[in-house]
Chains A and B, each alone.
Chain A
Amino acid sequence: MLRFAFVRILSAIPTLLLVVVLAFLMVHAAPGGPFDDERVLPPENARNLQAAYHLDESLPRQFGRYLSGVMRGDLGPSYHYRDYRVSELIGAALPLSLMLGLLAMSLALVVGISAGVVAALKRNTMLDRVISGLAMSGISIPVFVVAPLLVLVFALQLRWLPASFSGGAGGWRFLLPVVALSLPQIAYVTRLMRASMIEALSSDFVRTARAQGLSTLSIVRYHAMKPAMLPVVSYLGPAIAAVLTSAVVVETIFGIPGLGQLFVRGGLNRDYTLVLGIVIFYAALVIVLNLLVDLLYGFLDPRIRHR
C-alpha cells in the first residue's frame, strides 16, 4: 500500500508541472500585452510598467520567477485588481465556492446512491424505468440550462426562493445553486450505482447469502454495497472536476462571489495573471483530489494496490 501511494504521489508531480508550463506558455504566446488596451503611455512610463511586472525579462527567466512563486504559493500580481495578489483574490473567494461544492457533492452522493440502489433492486419495473429515464435526462441537460430554468420556475414564477444569491439571506439562498450544481452529478451517480449494484447482486457471494436466508436489506447492506460502491468512488475524481467547471456557470447565474465568478470576470477583463493563477489552482486541486480518490480506491480494493 505504501509503495502504491508513493508511486502515485510521485506521478502527480510531472502532471502538475505540465499544467503550469502549458498554461504559462499559452498566456505568454497570446498576441498583445496585458496593458495594450489602455491609453497610450509615454515610452518611459510603458518601460517602467513593463519592468515593474518583469515583462522586460526573457521568457525562461519570467517562467523561473513565476514557478518559484507558485511553489511558495504566490501566483503573482493581478493585472486588473491592481493592489491585490492573485493568491489573495483566490483566498477570499475560495470558502464560498468550497462550501457550495461540498454541499453539491454530498447531495449528489446521497440521492444518487439511494436512487441507484432502488432502481437496481426494482430492476425492469416501472420505477426503475422512471429513475433511469430521469437520470438520462439529467446527464443530457447541461447545468447552464438547468440553473436558469430553476430560477425561472422557483424564483420568478412561484417566488418561493430568491433569484440571486445576494438577494436573499440565510441558508435558503444556497438551495437553488446547490440543486442546480448537483443534478447532473446525481444523474451520473445513479446510473453508475444502478449498473454496479445489478452486477453485485448477480454475483456468487450474493447468491450464497440469499441461500442462507438473509433478507434483501441486509444482503445489500453487508454484502453488495461495498463492491458496488467502487465505480462510484472512481467516479469521484471526474465528478469533482465537473462540479468545479459547473460552479463557474452556477456562480455567474446566481451572482455568487466565489472562485468561478472571479474566473469569468478575469477572462472578460483579460486579466492574464488572474486567469492563469486560477487555472493552475483548479488544476492542482483536481490533481490532488484525484490522487486522494486513487489512494482511497487502493485502500478499498486490494486488487489495485497489489497489481
Chain B
Amino acid sequence: MNAWFALAGAGAFRHLHGGAAIRVSTGILLIIAAAALLGPMLSPHDYFDTDFEQRLKPPTLDEGRLFGTDDLGRDLFVRTLSGTRITLLVAVVASFVSLAIGVAYGAIAGYAGGKIDAFMMRIVDALYALPFIFLVILLMVAFERNVLLIFVAIGAINWLDMARIVRGQTLSLKHREFVDAARLIGVPPVVIVFRHIVPNLLGVVVVYVTLTIPQAILVESFLSFLGLGVQEPQTSLGALVNDGVSQMERAPWMLLIPATLLAAVLMSFNFLGDGLRDALDPRQRRR
C-alpha cells in the first residue's frame, strides 16, 4: 500500500516500470495542450469566420490554412485547435467534478464505517447498474444544451469508481498512528477526514484521474458527435469528426485530422494512466 504514496516522493518516477510510455505520452499531451492553447492566436483566422470563396480547400501552406477549410469555408486549423481546447477543458473540469464527489463520498463512507458505510456503498452499487449514458442523452435532449450542463452530467457519471477506490484506501489509512493521534487530541471527524486522510489519498487519486479523463473525453465527443453536445459555432473534436463524416467523400481531411488528434489524445491518456498504475501498484505489475 505504501507504494501508492511513493508518488509524493520525488524519486518515484525514476523507478517507474514502463517509464518510456509515460514520458512519451506526457510529452504528446503537453504538445497538444500547448498547441490548443496557443495555436488559435497564431493564425490570422477565427474559428467562426465563414468564407464562401474558400470552401472545402485541402490543407496547404498558403495563408496558414494548414488543415484546409470546411464546407462553410471556415479555417480548420483554428477550428481543430479550439475544438481540442474545448474537449480538453470539458474532460478536465468533468474529471474534477467526479473527483470532488468521489473523494468526499468515499472518504466519508470509509471513515464512518459500520452501518453508514454499508448504506452508502449500497447506494453506489445500485447506481452502478444505471445506464447513465442514456440518462445523459435524455438530459441533453430535454434541456438547453450548454457546456456547463455537459460538465456536470459527465462528472456525475464518473464518480462511482473514484468513491470505491477512495473508500478502500481510507479503510486502510484510518487505523494508522497519525489518525489515532489526531483522534486522541480531540480533532473532529470532519477535520480528520479532510485534513489528514484526503491529502494522503492524493497519490491514488492522481492515477485514477488520468484514467477518468479519457472516459470523460469519450462521453463528451460521443454527445457532440450525435449533435447533442457542444453547439455551433463552438466545436469540439467529436463535433469535428461528425462534420468530417458528412463530407468524407469530398474532403477526407475534414475527418482524418480531428480523428487522428482525438485518437492521439485518448491513447496518450490511457497509456499514461496505465503506466502510472502499473508503476505504483506492484500487485498489478506482477501480471
Interface residues, chain A, CB within 8 Å of chain B?
11-12, 14-15, 18-19, 22-23, 26-27, 29-31, 136-137, 139-142, 144-145, 148-149, 151-152, 156, 195, 198-199, 241, 244-245, 248-249, 252-253, 263-264, 266-268, 270, 272, 275-276, 278-279, 282-283, 286-287, 290
Contact = CB atoms under 8 A, between A and B. Distances in A.
A3 B162 CA distance: 31
Given A23-B135, A27-B138, A145 B241 contact: yes
Contact of A276 (B133, B138, B225, B255): B138
B158 to A, nearest CB: 14
Contact of A140 (B214, B238, B245, B256): B214
Given A29-B142, A268-B227, A279-B135, A142 B129 contact: no
Contact of A245 (B133, B140, B241, B259): B133
Contacts of B271: 136
A276 B245 CA distance: 28
Contact of B139 (A26, A148, A266): A26
A253 B144 contact: no
A292 to B, nearest CB: 13
B279 interface: no
Contacts of A253: 245
Given A136-B270, A142-B266, A152-B252, A199 B129 contact: no
Nearest to B228: A267
Given A144-B238, A270-B141, A275-B137, 4 more contacts: A137-B267, A148-B244, A272-B141, A279-B135
A116 to B, nearest CB: 12
Interface of B: 126, 129-131, 133-135, 137-144, 214, 218, 221-222, 225-228, 238, 241-242, 244-245, 248-249, 252, 255-256, 259, 262-263, 266-267, 270-271, 274, 287
Interface class of chain B by DSSP = helix
B222 A142 contact: yes
B271 to A, nearest CB: 7
A195 B274 CA distance: 13
B126 A275 contact: no
B259 A31 contact: no
A252 B241 CA distance: 13
A152 B248 contact: yes
A202 B262 CA distance: 38
B255 A148 contact: yes
List the 3 closest A-B pairs by CB distance, nearest first. A30-B142, A140-B267, A140-B266
B142 A272 contact: yes
A199 B133 CA distance: 33
A156 B270 contact: no
Contacts of A141: 263, 266-267
A14 B126 contact: yes
Contact of B134 (A15, A151, A282): A282
Contacts of B126: 11, 14-15, 18
